[in-house]
Amino acid sequence: MSGAKSTLFLLVVSATAALALPAAATARAHDPFRRTIGSYLGGSNTGVCAVQAPATVRRCTLAQSNPKVERYAGYGRYPHVRGHIVRFRLTTGRPTPDTTSVRVRFHALAGPRGPGGPVSRWFALSLEGRRRHEFAVRVPFAPGSRIAVDVEVHGDGRGEAAAPIAAAGKPVDGTYEWSPPLGPGAKPPLVIEGRSINLNAVFERDDQTPPILHYSYAKYQDFLRTRRVYVDVRSNEFVLFNPECSLLTREAQWGLVGAIPHLRPRRTHSYFCELEPPALRAGLKAARRGGNPRVFFRLVAYDRAGNVARTKAFYVYPTD
């Protein structure tokens, strides 16, 4: 028997938005393959990526400084499997009078420094004051990536222009300035503007296929003597195996003890559930009364992406 007892894990990444979402957007949050990730949702009246006159254009990357920030904020955990960002949202506030246009694109920062990583196309932002923007995209998002937006601000050259997409707060997020464009291998300076980006994104994992379990077992086993019930199981991929196993009599149902092992792909594993003394006594008593004790099995396995496989229920009966 391989594998010690282990704690069951599931991939769970979620976010609590500070904005009231329409019914359709709320329904999307329940998609089992999609989760919302983000950084400090909230209102905004102050801009970032400011352009000082007489300059008229500036580009920046507004980045979450550390994926752990989201955990502290209670928005869940970042993805641990590959996937895609399929939608991102941000809220704009009031622009400065000298701002003429702002456009943004989603950016999946692949490392702790620099603007490298996949991006979406550019989207123009409305400068009509406070409103929420939502854009459909298709951007690869690997484990360890950080959410960010590239911002391009245009001004009239007479005063300060800025992108009105920040919320007042502690300087936990920074601005990676990258205008003029960076040369190969160059690292942009980190300009702390004392604001948090106002952004969240919908992550859809690529792996949406549950594992496949193959199993065999003896329908009749002498578990009232050996105190163990066996089943041989094999998976097509690496999984955490956590079956349901219980002893049934006419009077009661007893949960049986078993390890929670990891199964390596394409290797047959002999798994057993063990009858503890109370369950064993109940089974022996039921057998003497002709109560037909039997062991219920349902095999359950979780892969690294959180996909779950459940077999049909089956029963093992005691030998005569």
Burial group, residue 220, by CB count within 10 angstroms (0-12, 13-18, 19+): exposed
Where do you find CATH 2.60.120 in the chain?
23-205
**Cα separation values, 313 from 36, 75, 184, 217, Å:** 34, 36, 59, 13
Kindly state the tokens that stand for 266.
Answer: 């394409």
Residue 37 pLDDT: 83
Instruction: For the chain, state the CA radius of gyration.
Output: 28
**Fold of the domain spanning 213-318:** Immunoglobulin-like (2.60.40)
Would you place residue 7 in the very low, low, confident or very high pLDDT band (cuts 50, 70, 90)?
very low
Averaged pLDDT, 190-210: 82
pLDDT tens-digit map of 273-314:
999 999 999 999 999 988 889 999 999 999 988 899 999 999
Task: Using the CB atoms, write b or e for 76-92: b if 16+ within 10 Å.
Answer: bebbebebbbbbbbbbb
Q: What are phi and psi of 180, to 5 degrees?
A: -70, 165
Region(s) of the chain under CATH 2.60.40.2550 = 213-318
Q: pTM score, two decimals?
A: 0.72
* Digit-coded pLDDT (tens) for 23-57: 344 444 467 888 888 776 556 667 888 899 999 99
- Architecture of the CATH domain 23-205: Sandwich (2.60)
